[in-house]
Structure 1
């Protein structure tokens, strides 16, 4: 009888393919819009909207620091959401329109004074960042409630990552071409129309996700008080280390991608090659596929260190590629394999730090810890990573749309090569501190299982 019940429960946990597609559409929508921003916003602000590089850098820094702290707030909001649709699912519906409309407004380029342009960019960038967290947080928090079967969850997460990579590929590869085509020589209109198209697609994908996902375990979910959630981070050093390392990954990744268009346009004289380099970032999938093989041979912390070092190595090879587009594509792909490993491992390891927090403090605050470990780290890292090149370019006197000086070209090359490599290496060095905690994981799991058995 017991086996029949277990079999029935497992059968109920099976997720149909159409529902997996609905879940994948969440990350596809998120990456389609968010990657457009992280990849092109600095270039858009300076060369299309007409802001100075200093003003653009200030916006990236200030807005990202402000909206980075909404990650725990969104975690608390979702933890305390109770509807007939569940905790996480309704936010796909509620946030679809704000997410789309703020994206459009960012790329609208109204005719304003210089000062008004600054505040328009600041406010729309900030509101878009907040709305992105409102979409991104439930993408992670809904997973445990889509199925009770661990194998199904793995399939769901894999499908989600594929959806995210498709969203990234579309915007990274085609945005420049679509904007040029739709603008017909008017860059302002081209970017505006492109933003409208992407926003409509993103809105439709999130609406599909809401309509075709289904949460279970609603009655079993209990809200954890805010102060108690925060206490789960007390003395949780592996979590602290992982968050800091993830921030340095995003520092490197953002500084790497934010100057691609500058490098191909001014240093190489082939602006369109930026789309090729952005497409080659899909080599991250190679790194992601290598992870299961690598973790069987070496520690997870060693895998992450290897990924960061490989990414740094690829970036350092960029100056050696010179003006050879083929060589540049090869070294960019090498770095992308490293970033694929580096961006995936922290997500896989965050659950271990949640276990450590429960073992150390007796509190399992997975929502709060993973929100800080993912959304907060992404926003702080990508914000500062996009700001750092703007400071450097401002120091050397970058002016949009003109022939750049030798010092400016050297600065652009530094920002796309050595700067991200420095960030990646620092992250790898900090990760060394994690190794001692990883050696305790088996004991921690055994202690937690024994503790739960006594309850």
Structure 2
């Protein structure tokens, strides 16, 4: 329900500032579906690469490229921490960018092609010796994460200046994460079958062709995002550019600190769990049980899996079960996103995010108790986990924009890029720590690529996909109990900031 102050300023007129940048004359900021979809395709593009890094890169490096789990873990730690260093740099640069396209959109345009090219190169296997391959992996991965920072920080900040309306912002995030879910389905559901199909026994060739296709799609989607979005919120005209003041505002913004902690531990959870999930299928679950699962599922698909040779004798049942289960479960995330959007409007983003994060953590932890033959139990737990995670997916990103508003509301200064970039530092450190922990745990429990694992190694895989990552979610929940931007504060900020912006755009 709209509050009176919002109704008093229901105008949808905009005017351009001196940088040809649209600024709001109202707090409504109503967005067309075309713009929401166009914006969302940018995250779909990034997730063609990001989800592959999260889900398949550790397995690619150990089982195809030829690195040890320990070497891959160290690479993840160094490269992803480097990405975290890049984030505030590009956030500050984006805040100080002034073009006829705005501050943040140009970065999506400038980085589209380099992002796609490096996403492809990072999954090539060059004909080099062990040292040469390690050097190649470091160069391509470091460059990829540099360009990822240059692209994704301005992209994320763009959501904070497209609209100042809290409901529209949540709606935008919901559309965004439906697209993200579809991109995730493409990677989790189709990437491995594509690798097996194009590689025909040569996984290096299969990864190269598969990532070439996804990287080309990413470039196209980035261009669509650039051409279909507009920036409508500018900093107060009297605001002076000061990086030192921006950083001072950050560390004094308690809500920013708490969101940093949330993103840090949330992505430790995601990076560790997702990196190990394929190993769980390959080395823990029973192959014959997975084959029978695929045969039974295929009865409801009218022989589709058989026609694709996913159930044939000698097929890779682990990869195929992994893909089929993930397609089903990621589809279940889409209604979760819709539920999350509706619940957030009624109860506020913080409370919904916190509650469903707890439910998702319980579902993830239960993976530890499933026996090797329990493929149907894995399907049920995965459906419940992905629905729960779907409820949470759009909320922290919309909350990130709220934190930028909070900074402007409290300090009368807006630095959207540095606020988003600072929180994304937490995301990148989480990716670094989670990915490194996954590799080091595999190494520590005695994992050896492409052979039957010892009981100790299997135990390590089971713990690393369930109990260990869920510990990180506990810290997220604790931080959210101390986060102050609930529903009441959201609307108070929205209306007071709308009045301020109305004053300086008239």
- The structure 2 residue matched to 1:244, chosen from 258, 261, 267, is 261
The farther-off stretch of 216-225 and 246-255 is 216-225
Residues 7 and 259 of structure 1: CA distance in aligned 2, closer, same or farther (over 3 Å): closer
Q: Which segments of 5 or more consecutive residues in structure 1 lack a partner in the other structure?
A: none
Q: Deviations over 1:372-409 (max 9, x none)?
A: 22x22221112211111211110122110001101111
- Taking only aligned residues, the RMSD between alpha carbons, in angstroms, comes to 3.3
In structure 1, the partner of 2:155 is 139
In structure 1, the partner of 2:242 is 225
Contact 1:88–1:138 (8 Å) recurs in 2: yes
Q: Which segments of 5 or more consecutive residues in structure 2 lack a partner in the other structure?
A: 1-7, 15-24, 288-316
In 1, Cα distance between equivalents of 2:107 and 2:434: 29
SS of aligned partner of 1:81 = coil
Give the TM-score taking structure 1 as reference length.
0.88
In 1, Cα distance between equivalents of 2:56 and 2:498: 51
SS of aligned partner of 1:69 = helix
Q: Which has the higher helix share?
A: 1
In 1, Cα distance between equivalents of 2:98 and 2:491: 36
Residues 61 and 367 of structure 1: CA distance in aligned 2, closer, same or farther (over 3 Å): same
In 2, Cα distance between equivalents of 1:369 and 1:56: 31
Contact 1:259–1:416 (8 Å) recurs in 2: yes
1:350 aligns to 2:400 (yes or no): yes
Residues 349 and 411 of structure 1: CA distance in aligned 2, closer, same or farther (over 3 Å): same
- The structure 2 residue matched to 1:108, chosen from 117, 121, 124, is 124
In 1, Cα distance between equivalents of 2:76 and 2:163: 38
In structure 1, the partner of 2:322 is 274
SS of aligned partner of 2:53 = helix
The farther-off stretch of 23-32 and 222-231 is 222-231
Contact 1:308–1:428 (8 Å) recurs in 2: yes
1:125 aligns to 2:141 (yes or no): yes
In structure 1, the partner of 2:300 is none
The farther-off stretch of 105-114 and 318-327 is 318-327
1:372 aligns to 2:422 (yes or no): yes
In 1, Cα distance between equivalents of 2:97 and 2:58: 36
The farther-off stretch of 341-350 and 398-407 is 341-350
In 1, Cα distance between equivalents of 2:339 and 2:84: 31
In structure 2, the partner of 1:167 is 183
Give the TM-score taking structure 2 as reference length.
0.80
In structure 2, the partner of 1:202 is 218
SS of aligned partner of 2:250 = coil
TM-fit CA distance, 1:173: 0.8
SS of aligned partner of 1:364 = coil
The farther-off stretch of 279-288 and 60-69 is 279-288
TM-fit CA distance, 1:288: 2.6
Q: Deviations over 1:276-320 (max 9, x none)?
A: 343314433343323344446656444333222112210121133
Residues 415 and 282 of structure 1: CA distance in aligned 2, closer, same or farther (over 3 Å): farther
TM-fit CA distance, 1:153: 5.4
